[in-house]
Chains A and B, each alone.
Chain A
């Protein structure tokens, strides 16, 4: 079933270099952008490393592939993307020992080995760092192509602008606010924040910058429009002498992700309207879903009434702002006790910094959260409207307006899901997916212990503690405390298909096209459309196992 054979048509020898460099995958199911699996051939240009339009190649270039690979009925998918991964194969992106070479060799090792899990592009994620380390780390994480390995697309900075109450494993003393708004961001991350994408063959390549931050922290919400303003291509930015205002504005092209946050429904919605596109590891490090104020998770259900009618918003605002709640006492009591709990927990938490998985063993959030009064943290309504004005596009609340931040009204953000069966219960995974299918982005959030070849057992960890690895569960020896994820992306996809009952095609979409769209790189990654990079993963249609992996039109791994 999964046997493949290669046929060279008209080539001089059996090598792939023979013939015209075109390659046809046949007898396969293509994983399409809409989640379907379609029996169709795929043509790629191995010399350029891209997928080609087969019909145009045939009729206009008068060429057909000199090499044909029969995939024996397997699924041919765009290579998987992992946009949140802390490390793997013994290397942790967040640990810099002062040696650039060592760090780069760690990056290369992961890139070279992770292809066995079907991942062809990843966004290395770093947790909250000493401020002085950011410029160095981010410059080391500039986009990087490795020979025979996955593409490193940029960086995902998780922190330091996080909510202390939801800090997870992040070092509390390093967590900060942004009193100078966008300037605070520039100060913290350094020059890489405004760096432009590398130019490859005269064309701008992908440079992914993701920042996970808590929008309720002072200075964050008002910085989102500026942070997320897309980078103009170099040609158009130099010629934009006509609009003086836009040349004054700095462009960062950041994908803003809401996470480690207790944002109220209002603030979460404002963040999205300001340009936030993503929610970091949904369900983890955020308030649980409360029906009266569904907070960040509620973004998956965005109601038209909540979105378009300012009066509906105002009503909810008054009800969440505290003192005058006419709707019974339940909410009020919940809020009160919630605040107390957090105060208590904060003092405990600061004593035991960062031992456990940041996503799962966080402070318990009682029903009735979010806990902060939006008035004290969110900018005023008027201020937020003026912020939104910075985004080229209609203003929130204008009934006639079609969009903010380039998306139509009622648009819902993407959300990352760790589908290891531990960080989110299968029911929760299915619930989220049923609520908002197109927003679902599978992430591993994997730690350095992610390595399918690592046998189960006890491994030394930091601070003299040992870690137990069992399957892709990691926990601290002598406890039940989970210490992060060790799940691989191919397992996430298989789990996801099982948990939700969706087909493999839909599960694949959540690891390819959805993350690519979230990052606005769906013209190059996460798709099989012509012109996209020939990063491909061949999958067994029955079990979902990865059979072979291609990057830039070259086979970099195959199951043997």
Chain B
């Protein structure tokens, strides 16, 4: 796992935005072979979306051949409700880029058959060839997607009851009236995230500091579901300074020191990949 530390949320957004844009452009997606991207909602990824929109407007990236899967959606909230994740994604991202609507997947929290909806979602991910890069955020209790503390680390897309903390944290979006916050959500499972070929997680702000420490400095633990990332072969966490407050000084120093080394590794990896592709081409 890699941890990248930047000064503030905006620079975190810039870093991840550039990173994702580079990954998509390097992938050279086509209609037959689209780049499959997993996406979160919430306040943490907004700077990333902003930066990606800027890159798109500057003509540096197109989402024409990008297929997206969102992590979660509330159950029973109308799709056009101001707090639905459909609304969020359209407002913060999709309306500003050139992604074809048919490439967008968000769980339908109003489906008659919620279990069927979840199963179909897993199948759709599989049919799209699996997720290339899953961008995620975390909750204060360390949840990734709506995989609240205690979720199975091998869980798949399913109906989930929200933890009291999450309901309380979200009340601010529902007129501070806790009774208006939906109690249930559909969410991809921890295993769904783990199955993607790469995971990038944005962690910003003091309130996420404890969760970050629990996720990377302690063992794999279903009470801090992000910790499952420790078992992922290609995971990246990008945090701001505030979010590192609960980490050991040693941890922070270590990750900062390896950032440059990591870039070098990446460059080498890219070169090797290109060479191997070249060789494949020759054998044809």
Tell me the minimal C-beta distance from A66 to chain B in angstroms: 11
B95: chain A residues at CB < 8 Å are 41, 54-55, 58
Verify if A473 is at the interface (C-beta below 8 Å from B).
no
Which segment of B37-45, B79-87, B210-218, B237-245 sits at the interface?
Answer: B79-87
* A62-B101 in contact (CB<8A): yes
Tell me the minimal C-beta distance from A376 to chain B in angstroms: 55
A59: chain B residues at CB < 8 Å are 79, 86, 90, 101, 104, 106
Verify if A9 is at the interface (C-beta below 8 Å from B).
yes
* B90-A55 in contact (CB<8A): yes
Verify if A64 is at the interface (C-beta below 8 Å from B).
yes
**Complex: A9 Cα to B56 Cα, angstroms:** 14
Please encode chain B, from 64 to 101, with 1 for each CB lying within 8 Å of some chain A CB and 0 for all others.
00000000000000011000001100110011101011
Verify if A56 is at the interface (C-beta below 8 Å from B).
yes
Majority DSSP secondary structure for residues of B touching A: helix
**Complex: A55 Cα to B85 Cα, angstroms:** 12
Verify if A63 is at the interface (C-beta below 8 Å from B).
yes
Verify if B102 is at the interface (C-beta below 8 Å from A).
yes
Verify if A53 is at the interface (C-beta below 8 Å from B).
yes
Please encode chain A, from 53 to 85, with 1 for each CB lying within 8 Å of some chain B CB and 0 for all others.
111101111111000000000000000000000
Q: Which residues of B (97-118) have their CB < 8 Å from a CB of A? A: 98, 100-102, 104, 106
* B80-A63 in contact (CB<8A): no
* A56-B80 in contact (CB<8A): yes
**Complex: A58 Cα to B99 Cα, angstroms:** 10
A60: chain B residues at CB < 8 Å are 79
Nearest B-chain residue to A54, judged by Cβ: B95
Nearest B-chain residue to A70, judged by Cβ: B57
Q: Among A59, A60, A61, A62, which residue has the most Cβ atoms of chain B within 10 A?
A: A59
Majority DSSP secondary structure for residues of A touching B: loop
B94: chain A residues at CB < 8 Å are 58
Tell me the minimal C-beta distance from A64 to chain B in angstroms: 6
Nearest A-chain residue to B99, judged by Cβ: A64
**Complex: A559 Cα to B24 Cα, angstroms:** 41
* B101-A55 in contact (CB<8A): no
**Complex: A58 Cα to B88 Cα, angstroms:** 13
Q: Among A55, A56, A61, A63, which residue has the most Cβ atoms of chain B within 10 A?
A: A55
* A64-B80 in contact (CB<8A): no
Tell me the minimal C-beta distance from B214 to chain A in angstroms: 36
Q: Report how many residues on chain B are interfacial, defined by Cβ distance under 8 Å.
A: 15
**Complex: A9 Cα to B102 Cα, angstroms:** 16
Please encode chain A, from 8 to 34, with 1 for each CB lying within 8 Å of some chain B CB and 0 for all others.
010000000000000000000000000
Tell me the minimal C-beta distance from A375 to chain B in angstroms: 52
**Complex: A9 Cα to B62 Cα, angstroms:** 12
Tell me the minimal C-beta distance from B126 to chain A in angstroms: 21
Q: Which of A41, A53, A55, A64 contacts B86 (CB 8 A)?
A: A55
Nearest B-chain residue to A43, judged by Cβ: B95
Nearest A-chain residue to B100, judged by Cβ: A64
**Complex: A56 Cα to B94 Cα, angstroms:** 12
* B87-A64 in contact (CB<8A): no
Interface size class of A (residues with CB under 8 A): 10 to 19
* B90-A62 in contact (CB<8A): no
* A9-B98 in contact (CB<8A): yes
Please encode chain A, from 212 to 256, with 1 for each CB lying within 8 Å of some chain B CB and 0 for all others.
000000000000000000000000000000000000000000000
Tell me the minimal C-beta distance from B74 to chain A in angstroms: 15
B104: chain A residues at CB < 8 Å are 58-59
**Complex: A58 Cα to B104 Cα, angstroms:** 9
Tell me the minimal C-beta distance from A133 to chain B in angstroms: 50
* A58-B102 in contact (CB<8A): no
**Complex: A41 Cα to B91 Cα, angstroms:** 10
**Complex: A9 Cα to B97 Cα, angstroms:** 12
Tell me the minimal C-beta distance from A241 to chain B in angstroms: 36
* B101-A58 in contact (CB<8A): yes
Q: Which of A53, A61, A62 contacts B80 (CB 8 A)?
A: A53
**Complex: A61 Cα to B101 Cα, angstroms:** 9
Nearest A-chain residue to B103, judged by Cβ: A62
**Complex: A55 Cα to B101 Cα, angstroms:** 10
Tell me the minimal C-beta distance from A29 to chain B in angstroms: 16
A56: chain B residues at CB < 8 Å are 80
Tell me the minimal C-beta distance from A26 to chain B in angstroms: 8
* B102-A54 in contact (CB<8A): no
* A58-B90 in contact (CB<8A): yes
**Complex: A508 Cα to B157 Cα, angstroms:** 49
Given known pairs A55-B80, A58-B95, the reply for A64 and B90 (CB within 8 Å) is: no
B90: chain A residues at CB < 8 Å are 54-55, 58-59
Tell me the minimal C-beta distance from A30 to chain B in angstroms: 13
Nearest B-chain residue to A57, judged by Cβ: B101
**Complex: A53 Cα to B101 Cα, angstroms:** 14
* B87-A55 in contact (CB<8A): yes
Nearest B-chain residue to A24, judged by Cβ: B95
Nearest A-chain residue to B102, judged by Cβ: A62
A53: chain B residues at CB < 8 Å are 80
**Complex: A58 Cα to B98 Cα, angstroms:** 12
**Complex: A56 Cα to B95 Cα, angstroms:** 11
A64: chain B residues at CB < 8 Å are 98, 100-101
**Complex: A63 Cα to B99 Cα, angstroms:** 10
Tell me the minimal C-beta distance from B39 to chain A in angstroms: 14
**Complex: A41 Cα to B95 Cα, angstroms:** 8
A41: chain B residues at CB < 8 Å are 95-96
Can you sample 15 A-B contacts with CB below 8 Å? Answer: A9-B98, A53-B80, A54-B95, A55-B87, A55-B91, A58-B90, A58-B94, A58-B101, A58-B104, A59-B86, A59-B90, A59-B101, A59-B104, A61-B101, A64-B100
Give 19 new A-B contacts, CB below 8 A, not counting A54-B90, A63-B101. Answer: A41-B95, A41-B96, A53-B80, A55-B95, A56-B80, A58-B90, A58-B94, A58-B104, A59-B86, A59-B90, A59-B101, A59-B106, A60-B79, A61-B101, A62-B101, A62-B102, A64-B98, A64-B100, A64-B101
Interfacial residues, chain B to chain A (CB-CB below 8 A): 79-80, 86-87, 90-91, 94-96, 98, 100-102, 104, 106
What are the nearest 7 A-B pairs in CB distance? A62-B101, A55-B90, A58-B101, A62-B102, A64-B101, A59-B86, A58-B90
